Structure formats: structure tokens, C-alpha cells
Structure 1
Amino acid sequence: MDTEIPKLFGTSGIRGKIEEDITPELALRVGRAISTYLGKKKKIVVGYDTRTSNLMLERAVSAGILQGGCQVLSIGMVPTPVVGYATMKLEADAGVMITASHNPSPYNGIKLWNPDGMAYLQEQERTIERIIHENKFYNAPWEDIGKITDVSPVVNDYTEDLLGLMNIQPGLKVVVDCANGAASYLSPFILRKAGCKVVSLNAQPDGFFPGRKPEPSEANLQELMKVVKVTGADLGIAHDGDADRMIAVDDKGRMADFDKLLALVSAEIGGCVVTTVDASACIDRALEGVGGTVERTKVGDVHVAEMIHNIDATFGGEPSGTWLHPEFCMCPDGILSALKVIKLVQNRGPLSLLLDNIPVYPTMRDKIDCREDQKDPLMEKAKTDLPSIYQEVADVNLKDGVRISFEDGSWVLVRPSGTESFIRITLEGKTEDKARMIHEKAAKFIHELL
């Protein structure tokens, strides 16, 4: 049964500490499993970010792919969105990115991509896990072992296609912080080619991340915020380690609120936008103003991508800065996201003013200790009973935990953490008093069940 197969994939690929969770042996087996799953003579793009363990893992994954009779299209050190793009552009059968995204230096991981640039779906990941668990690999005979081809020039195609998609007028001053990650060369180069005056920070690839930690949090972006203000820049852009995310800093040196920024860009694009159950209702209000709609799905960019594909949405993203642009590629792309924000500022004025004009409700986030064996029964009870403890309930969404929307626009989400032993409460109340009332009732409900 599937439940007996050890789980390797989390919400964003396979990820963990080097030698403890992620080893060359595991990478070899993942490579063998991919070629077994796809069948011999298929083409697989392989890239990696700046981490010190990346060449070791890239060689191991590639060896496994070759052993299964498939071809490796080696793209070298590139941001994750370039791997997704190259998989699509080169009509490859899959893509592999060696990265741990925003995790610290001792971590690494493996993420897999479909021919359209979309991340592997859960059922595909489960198939890879099953092949590895059952040790049922295809081994090509000596005359059919795969070959490696250098496809790094496809980065030039990515650059030209991005610039062709976005018509940006020269003149804006942008500070870009690349976190010593995979976009260290490419993001500043593309922004300059687009006509921006670029000041670059932490733009030397280094797997120790000496400039700042790869997580683009407010605590880690203090230097960027100061440089934007001191240099009089129009905005700042920050990437995580593999540049599938983008965080903005406004012209006053303030880190942009994740939800507000997503709401701004969503309203600019219009149509049907996909986001996650933990995103603010300000996105709904922004889209209502332009005749657009919002669809919510589970937390995780793969769920956003799948929903975009299923309903032919115009745009999608998580509040974390992981945005998908289906008109270009189904892989989250922090560089294209940066260009979208730059274009927005160019069209509509200072980012600080745009952000300040978006009203938001008081927000609260809490987490309650919960053993892993308690999560499922607690959430089953929450699905049936939690809505009944509130009045004026307008909607109940059960796609990922329990999200209750109220008639005045307030909402609360109760969901189990996917990585830690917690139940998380996230909410917005129209007033401070409403927010406190919503939180107190949810917390009391959970504590009583526990």
C-alpha cells in the first residue's frame, strides 16, 4: 500500500540536510527512478543552484539518469525558473533542479518538472517514491547508456523571451539583492537589459550565502531596505537562493506586505487569479474592483500551478512571493515577477503609494502544539464542528484545513502544519475586536479537542 512507502517529497520537492537526509546515494536513486518512470531515450534537463553540495548531487542524479538509458541536458548553475523554461523550450521530457531554495547552506534538495514547466504533481512524486522503495530500476545495456549534452546557451533564449514579453521603458532605479544565489548573474543582467539602472547586492555566487541568509525575510533584508532608501531607488527586489521567489521593497525602504503586493499585481493582470487558502482577503477586494475573481487552493506552488492549469487562470501566487505566470511558463519565476512589479511601478507610480492605498484588516497568526497522531482526528472534527461556533458565516472552504469566511469580509483558517507538530491559526478581522474574538474561539476549540 502507498501508506507503507516512505515519503521523500514534501511541499516543494525532496529537501533536507546534506548527509543526514540528502546523500549522493539518494540522488543516484532519484535519477534512476526518473529514467525508469519516463522510459529509455527520454531527455531530462538538469540544473543546480550555488550550494556547495550541488555538483556532487548533480553528478549523482545525472549518473542515475544515464544508467536508465535517458539523455541529460546539462544546463549548469541557473535559477529554478530557467530549468522549468528550458524543459519546455527544448521539448524535454522532464527537468531536475538541485536546490533547497530558501533553506540554509547545510541543506539541499531535488525538485522535478514536467514538460510544460510545471512541478511534478503529488501522484507523480508518489510513483517516484514507489520505484525507489521497491528498488525496481531499469538498467540500460552498455550500448544504450545515455549521454550528456551541454544546453547552457538556452539561458540566452530565456533572457530574450522574458524581455520580449515585458515592454519596460528605461529609467527606473532598482536595487536587486540576489542572496549569493543562482540569480546572482542573471537577474541584474536582465534588469539592466530591460533598461533599469541597477544596483546589485550579494551578486557573487557563493553556497555559504555570506551576504545574507537565502530566506528573503524582513530580518534578512535590512541592508537592501537601507540601500533603497539611501540611493533614492524606485524599488528593491530580493530573491531567495534559487530565485523562484521575489520580494519587493518600496521607495521608502519598507518591505512590501506580501498580500498587498500580490493583490496589486493580481488586479493589474485581472481575470481569474489563483492563490492559497492562507492569503489575505485584500486580494479578493482588489480583484472585485476590476471585475476579476479569486480561486483558492492548498498551500504550495504545485497546487497553485495545478489549479491555474485546470481552470485556465490568468495568474497565480502565494503570499510568500512564489508567483506563476502561465503566459510564459508554469514554473514559479522570481525574475519575471520582478519585471511585473517594475512595470507596475512604471505605469502607476510609486510603490509606497500603491501599497498604502490597499486597505487591510488586522491580522493574527498563532500556532498550537499538536502531536502528529492528533492532527487528522482534530481536523476531521474541525471540518464538521468549527463553523458552528461562529455567527454570520458566509463560506466554508475545506481544500486545505478549514477556512471560514464571514459576511463582513473577516476570515479564519485552521490547518495542520505540513512540516512541524503544530496546528496553525491564521485570520483577518475587520476590527481588532473582531480579530481577537475569532482567534479566542478558534484557539479554545482546538485546546478543548486536544
Structure 2
Amino acid sequence: MAPKLFGTDGVRGLANGQLTAELALDLSVAAAHVLADRGEFTGHRPLAVVGRDTRISGQFLEAAVVAGLASAGVDVLLLGVLPTPGVAHLTGTLEADLGVMLSASHNPMPDNGIKFLARGGVKLDDAIEIAIEQRLREPWNRPTGGDVGRVSTYDHAVADYAAHLVGTIARPLTGLKVVLDCAEGAASAAGPKALRDAGAEVIAIHAEPDGLNINDHCGSTHLDNLQAAVLAHGADAGFGLDGDSDRCLAVDAAGEVVDGDQILAILGISMREAGRLPNDVVVATVMSNLGFVQALRANDVQVRQTKVGDRYVLEAMKAGGYGLGGEQSGHVIMSEFATTGDGILTALHVLERMAQTGSSLAELAGVMTRLPQVLINVGGVDKARADDDAGLAAAVAEAEAQLGDSGRVLLRPSGTESLVRVMVEAPSHEQAVSVAEDLAAVVRERLSL
């Protein structure tokens, strides 16, 4: 049974549309019933920490979440505006029974979301999400008197989180000039502080949130301003975060984009050299560029590939005991230091590698060559037949034989839309386009409704 309310990263929707105060309150009560340790025989009072990004809707949703948790007898610490990985970190260090993050990540400002974290700051698996949904609006015995939850503010959240981040690197970043695009989001305070405390000279842009401007043509999904700022300031590198700072992309000194695959390659090779890469394995998704896989293999690092989505990367990392994983989009998970993707952490460790080697970001990223990649979304087809159609399988096999070891084909049904995605990588853009268009035509012919 798949969760109905929960998506791949919590519950999201239009704030005050699908995601109402009433739903936020009810979800928080249900989460308290599933996740909070009641401690009837130990005297333990359940504790939750609650953080949010800068969306104006986060204010009323925070009030609703706090009301739900406190009414269920859970004490609440308000962390204020803090990145998702910061909430996860403090869920662990403050020994909270659960954490709550209010954010819709890179989505537009009108959206918002609720993400619950279990003890230790870990994401919930499907079984726990289903359990929360099943207990939604169930009859329950409400605590009264001194048994209701207390609510207080934790004023050291940004400082504690920034100190944790800086403590993960062993070399100061003195002499490096960095532009940090905070996406007018949750890292607007913590991001610049952490990089400055680590010794870097920081030019912060899009770090003046007003509740309405989060992700508005800025951050990791709009890198134009970051590229311009790196060139204008003569910076050594730039990093673009998203609204809740669980991902980042980079820009080198020449203004060229360094994507999640390249960042993973830089960190994977660095960690292997330092003996800190468990089993010499990096976890990535099937969308990772073939050039990434080839580069890591050339450096004696193996790649384990999963379905698209950072939750699947996390699952594979936990199952195999691996220490590094991520996505092309900039989700990078370093499990030695974090339970989730962390954009600021990623930036710090890329900069540390630059300081350690004396190499530019472009030189480090040059360890891999991105193969031209073409993606065609084929709509109006029966995606359910994609995996079983013999004619389509034959066409894919023929394309793979044509490309050999120099390219690859990925054909997969969309998880959310009625379409099939055809992705082709090849030595040249022209060849990738040709093979992709031929396969897309076969998909339309074989799977038409």
C-alpha cells in the first residue's frame, strides 16, 4: 500500500489550498502518536523540534503544527528559519523524538510542505508514513492540565548548526573567495555564517528573504545570477542552494556550471584517497551521466545506481553501509556528517578539496567528461506496457548495440505522469538526438493509446 498524502519528500501542496492549517494540525497529532515516546514508565516527556524555510505560509503552518504537537502532549522547541539538514541535525543532537520541517524545497513560493523526521533526524520510511495516515483524525484521549506540551524557542539553532558544519572539515578555507546564492531561503543566515567561520571570503546573494521571494529566479534552479556574480567578483567558485538548502550546484571561476555528478566525482575521489569512502562505492541514480560512472571507475571507485529520488539513494546507502551518494540535481548525502542531503556541507567539502589540492574547481571537475545527454518525454502513451513490449525492447537493444560502451539508453515510465521518458547519452549531441528521436518514435508506435 503506497502512501496517499505523503510523496517522495513529505506532504506538499499549495499552502492554504491542499495544505491547510487543519491538515497540518491533524498530521502533527497523528505523527505524535506514531513517533513520540510516551515514556509512561520512565517519566520521559516527548520532545519535538520544528523548523521552517522563509515562505510566509510557514508562519501559520508552524502555528498549526505546534498546536497539534502540544495538544498531543509533546514539548516543542521552535528552531525558526533553518535548513532541512539543520533541523535533521538538531533532531539528533537535542535527542528529540521527532523533527518537523516546513518547506517545499525548490518549489515556487505559494507551495509549502511538511516533512517529519524520526529520532536521530532520519527520514521516515513508507511503513511509518502509512501508519501516520492511518491514525489521521482517529479518536484519542487528549491530555489535560500539566500533561499538555510546553512550547519554547531554541535561540542557538543557526549557531549550533553552523558550528557542526565547520567542524566537519579539517582545513581552513582561508584565501578562497566564494559567492553563495541562498535562494532567499532557509540558508540565508546559516550558509554565509558557516562558510565565513570556515575562513572563506563570502559574497552572499539572494540572502534577504521577505517571505515572498524564495526561489524567485535564484538558487540552484536559476544559476544565471550566480554565474554573473562569480565573474563580477572574481570569485574562485560559487554555490547555488535551493529553498531548504538540501541541495546545491556549483559554478567555477569561469562561470561554468558544475553539476551534481561532477560534485559527487570530486568528493568520491577525495574520500577514497583519504580512506573515508566505505567499500570504495558511491551511490547515484540511473540518471547520472555515463561520464560520471566512467570517471569513478577509472579512479577505482564503483557506482551503485538506484531509481531517481534521494530517498532511494538514502535507502541504498543505509543497506550497503555506504558513505556518499547523490543526484545530478545537487542532492549530495555524506552520511558521516548528515542524515540528509546538505548543500552547505557539500560546498564546504568541495572548497576544502580546492584548498587541500591547490586546484581550481574547473580542474577538479575535469576529472569527468559529461557525455551529451538528450531526454525526450513521450506523452499520450500507455506507460504500463513499456516494460513488457517486445518490439520496444528490441529497439532499445538495437540502440544499445549501436552505441556500445561509448553511450547508453535509459527508457523509463514516469512515476507521476502519463508518459515515457527516453534518455540517450552518446559521444556527440547529434548522435544522442538521432538515437533518442528514433526510440521516441518506436514508443509512440508501440504504446499508443
Superposition TM-score, scaled by structure 2 size: 0.89
Name the counterpart of 1:294.
303
Name the counterpart of 1:398.
none
Aligned pairs for 1:242-391 within 5 A: 242-270=244-272, 271-348=280-357, 349-370=359-380, 374-375=382-383, 377-381=384-388, 386-391=392-397
- Contact 2:109/2:215 (8 A) holds in 1: no
Secondary structure class of the residue paired with 1:82: helix
Evaluate the alpha carbon distance shift between residue 38 and residue 333 of structure 1 in structure 2; reply closer, same or farther with a 3 A threshold: same
- Contact 1:234/1:251 (8 A) holds in 2: yes
- Contact 2:98/2:116 (8 A) holds in 1: yes
- Contact 2:109/2:214 (8 A) holds in 1: no
In the TM superposition, residue 414 of structure 1 has moved relative to its aligned partner by 2.0
Distance 1:236 1:359 in 2: 20
Name the counterpart of 2:124.
120
Paired amino acid for 1:301: D
Name the counterpart of 2:165.
162
TM-superposition CA deviations, 1:188-210 (whole Å, max 9, x none): 11111111011111111322117
Q: Which runs of 5+ in 1 are unaligned?
A: 395-403
In the TM superposition, residue 154 of structure 1 has moved relative to its aligned partner by 4.1
- Contact 1:180/1:205 (8 A) holds in 2: yes
Name the counterpart of 2:105.
101
Q: Which runs of 5+ in 2 are unaligned?
A: 39-44, 273-279
- Contact 2:182/2:240 (8 A) holds in 1: yes
In the TM superposition, residue 427 of structure 1 has moved relative to its aligned partner by 2.3
Name the counterpart of 1:197.
201
- Contact 1:259/1:279 (8 A) holds in 2: yes
Secondary structure class of the residue paired with 2:104: coil
Q: How many residues align?
A: 431
Name the counterpart of 2:55.
51
Paired amino acid for 1:275: A
- Contact 2:108/2:214 (8 A) holds in 1: no
Pick which of 427-436 and 286-295 moved more.
Answer: 427-436
Name the counterpart of 2:182.
178
In the TM superposition, residue 407 of structure 1 has moved relative to its aligned partner by 4.6
In the TM superposition, residue 387 of structure 1 has moved relative to its aligned partner by 4.0
Evaluate the alpha carbon distance shift between residue 380 and residue 354 of structure 1 in structure 2; reply closer, same or farther with a 3 A threshold: same
Secondary structure class of the residue paired with 1:160: helix
TM-superposition CA deviations, 1:386-416 (whole Å, max 9, x none): 443344899xxxxxxxxx9975042222223
Paired amino acid for 2:239: I
Evaluate the alpha carbon distance shift between residue 102 and residue 432 of structure 1 in structure 2; reply closer, same or farther with a 3 A threshold: closer
Distance 1:42 1:370 in 2: 50
- Contact 2:107/2:215 (8 A) holds in 1: no
- Contact 2:108/2:216 (8 A) holds in 1: no
Name the counterpart of 2:23.
26
Matched, 1:416 2:404: no
Paired amino acid for 1:70: V
TM-superposition CA deviations, 1:134-182 (whole Å, max 9, x none): 6355533444212223334243332222212102331100011111111
Aligned pairs for 1:125-136 within 5 A: 125-132=129-136, 135-136=138-139
Name the counterpart of 1:449.
447
Evaluate the alpha carbon distance shift between residue 433 and residue 188 of structure 1 in structure 2; reply closer, same or farther with a 3 A threshold: closer
Paired amino acid for 1:257: D
Evaluate the alpha carbon distance shift between residue 442 and residue 126 of structure 1 in structure 2; reply closer, same or farther with a 3 A threshold: farther
Distance 1:283 1:92 in 2: 38
Name the counterpart of 1:401.
none
Superposition TM-score, scaled by structure 1 size: 0.89
Secondary structure class of the residue paired with 2:208: coil
Secondary structure class of the residue paired with 1:365: strand
Distance 2:55 2:288 in 1: 31
Secondary structure class of the residue paired with 2:217: coil
Paired amino acid for 2:447: L
Aligned pairs for 1:210-221 within 5 A: 212-213=216-217, 216-217=220-221, 220-221=222-223
Pick which of 143-152 and 96-105 moved more.
Answer: 143-152
